[in-house]
């Protein structure tokens, strides 16, 4: 199992943070363009999912979109009530990635960005401590164990 | 006690407000207002903390009380190391000072560190003042999140 990369967007679609671990192929475009592409796709999937759903999603069920899977990798998505979006790409066999996303949000983002008065919440995250803690949490998780073969 | 996060957020707003105000009045890096707020808070909180306590034997005993009881009430931990030269100089070392622990674990943001320790310097000074010890408190941050508070007792 492995973790490929991680994106974090704010409510307005700005890329707050990007990290990668085992990314074997780059997109060939700049990071900003890639982020825009990624956010646009997520936005479309979200509205697609809420429109096309045959069930009534408004009454107490779980928040619409949470992951998609291709033959090679899986994209996991989490959105907080404040509109913060966390995206983690892993391989197909990873389980319980949502636990990891929640952990990143509550133990890394809230602790080291929200509680850091020197971090402006509407700007990309520059704190080294945040980066180090994120790396530690991801590497410690059971999702991140072996490199892809 | 109120929620810890609330105290943290309020403190960072306080720092932001005071530095912005002093920048407007063209007094850069004037932290005395912050220090004074700490002083009066410390002066009051020590009254509450010591109400059930017998009197202190000596000065060292008083400083020890600051390191253990005052610190654990406010910062939920004790001071990690206390040193003294027995001539009125005490050095309190906190290896993970709460207001700095979320900022950085190295030298990033080091230039902003003094803003976040000024209130606490005042807090210590106020607490000791109400216990009858006049002193000067300064802080030294070399490597975050550690912080050393120097207490210099003024004898008259």
Average pLDDT over residues B59-80: 89
Element (H, E) at B69: none
Q: How confident is the model at residue A149, as a pLDDT?
A: 46
CB contact under 8 A, B108 and A111: no
Element (H, E) at A92: none
Contacts for A105 with CB less than 8 Å, ≥ 6 apart: A78, A80, A84, A86
How does pLDDT run across B28-56, given as a tens digit for each residue?
A: 677 888 999 999 999 999 998 888 888 88
**CATH (domain of A16):** 3.30.450.70
Q: How confident is the model at residue A8, as a pLDDT?
A: 94
- Examine residue A147 and state whether it is found in any structural domain, yes or no: no
ipTM of the complex: 0.79
Angstrom CA distances, A75 to A32, A51, A87, A98, B31, stand at 19, 21, 7, 11, 48
Average pLDDT over residues A20-41: 90
> Is the pLDDT score of A30 beyond 80?
yes
- Examine residue A148 and state whether it is found in any structural domain, yes or no: no
Residue A104: give the domain boundaries.
Answer: 3-140
The single-letter DSSP state of residue A104 is I
Record the tokens describing residue B66, joined without a space: 């600051």
Average pLDDT over residues B93-114: 88
Contact B121, B129 (CB under 8 A): no
Q: Do β-strands B147-153 and A67-69 pair in parallel, antiparallel, or remain unpaired?
A: unpaired
| Cα of A116 to nearest chain B Cα, Å | 5
Contact A70, A95 (CB under 8 A): no
Contact B110, B104 (CB under 8 A): yes
Q: How far apart are CA A19 and CA A135, in angstroms?
A: 8
Angstrom CA distances, A44 to A31, A52, A61, A65, B137, stand at 20, 12, 20, 11, 58
Angstrom CA distances, B74 to B23, B53, B60, B61, B95, stand at 29, 18, 20, 19, 16
- Examine residue A146 and state whether it is found in any structural domain, yes or no: no
CB contact under 8 A, B102 and A112: yes
Handedness of CA A28, A29, A34, A40 (dihedral sign): negative
Residues of B with CB below 8 A from A132's CB?
A: 105
Q: Report the DSSP beta bridge partners of residue A77.
A: A87
- Number of separate domains in chain A: 1
- Examine residue A88 and state whether it is found in any structural domain, yes or no: yes
Q: How confident is the model at residue B1, as a pLDDT?
A: 45
Instruction: Tell me yes or no: is domain B31-153 CATH 3.30.1380.20.
Output: yes
Residues of chain A with pLDDT > 70, as a percent, come to: 92
When CB atoms are compared, the residue of B16, B105, B112 closest to A132 is B105
Q: Among candidates B85, B51, B57, which has minimal Cα distance to B69?
A: B51
Mean pLDDT of chain B: 88
> Is the pLDDT score of B101 beyond 50?
yes
Q: Among candidates A45, A44, A41, which has minimal Cα distance to A33?
A: A41
Residues of B with CB below 8 A from A127's CB?
A: 103-104, 108-109
Q: Among candidates B106, B117, B108, which has minimal Cα distance to B150?
A: B117
Contact B94, B116 (CB under 8 A): no
Q: How confident is the model at residue A133, as a pLDDT?
A: 92
How does pLDDT run across A52-103, given as a tens digit for each residue?
A: 888 776 654 456 888 899 999 999 999 999 989 999 999 888 888 889 999 9
Q: For an interface test with A, which of B12, B19, B96, B102 has the most A Cβ atoms less than 10 Å from its Cβ? A: B102
Identify the closest residue of chain A to B10 by CA–CA distance: A117
| Cα of A96 to nearest chain B Cα, Å | 28
- Examine residue A145 and state whether it is found in any structural domain, yes or no: no
Reduced to 3 states, what is the DSSP secondary structure of residue A8?
A: strand
Half-sphere exposure of A25 (CA within 13 A, CB side): 4
| Cα of A103 to nearest chain B Cα, Å | 17
Q: Report the DSSP beta bridge partners of residue B83.
A: B91
Residue B49 CB neighbours (<10 A): 16
- Examine residue A106 and state whether it is found in any structural domain, yes or no: yes
Q: How confident is the model at residue B2, as a pLDDT?
A: 57
Residue whose token pair is 């960072």: B12
Handedness of CA A26, A31, A36, A42 (dihedral sign): positive
- Examine residue A93 and state whether it is found in any structural domain, yes or no: yes
Contact B106, B91 (CB under 8 A): no
């Amino acid at each position: 199992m492995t973790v490929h990369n991680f994106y974090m967007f704010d409510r307005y679609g700005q890329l707050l943070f990007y990290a990668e671990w085992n990314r074997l192929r780059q997109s060939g475009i700049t990071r900003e363009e890639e982020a825009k592409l990624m956010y646009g796709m997520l936005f479309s999937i979200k509205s697609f999912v809420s429109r096309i759903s045959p069930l009534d999603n408004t009454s107490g069920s779980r928040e619409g979109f949470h992951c998609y899977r291709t033959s090679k990798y899986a994209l996991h998505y989490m959105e907080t009530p404040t509109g913060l979006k966390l995206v983690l790409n892993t391989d197909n066999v990873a389980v319980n990635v949502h636990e990891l996303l929640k952990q990143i949000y509550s133990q890394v983002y809230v602790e080291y960005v929200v509680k850091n008065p020197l971090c402006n919440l509407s700007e990309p995250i520059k704190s080294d401590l945040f980066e180090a803690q994120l790396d530690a949490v991801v590497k410690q998780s059971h999702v991140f164990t072996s490199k892809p073969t | 006690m109120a929620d810890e996060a609330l105290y943290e957020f309020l403190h960072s707003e306080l720092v932001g407000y005071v530095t912005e105000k002093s920048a407007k009045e063209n007094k850069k890096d004037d932290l005395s207002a912050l220090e004074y707020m700490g002083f009066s808070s410390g002066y009051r909180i020590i009254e509450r903390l010591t109400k059930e306590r017998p009197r202190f034997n000596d000065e060292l005993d008083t400083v020890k009380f600051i390191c253990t009881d005052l610190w654990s009430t406010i910062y939920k931990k004790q001071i990690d190391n206390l040193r003294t030269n027995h001539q009125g100089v005490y050095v309190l070392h906190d290896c993970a000072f709460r207001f700095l622990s979320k900022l950085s674990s190295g030298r990033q943001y080091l230039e902003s560190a003094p803003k976040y320790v000024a209130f606490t310097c005042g807090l210590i000074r106020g607490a000791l003042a109400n216990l009858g010890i006049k002193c000067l408190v300064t802080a030294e941050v070399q490597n975050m999140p550690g912080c050393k508070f120097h207490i210099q007792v003024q004898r008259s």
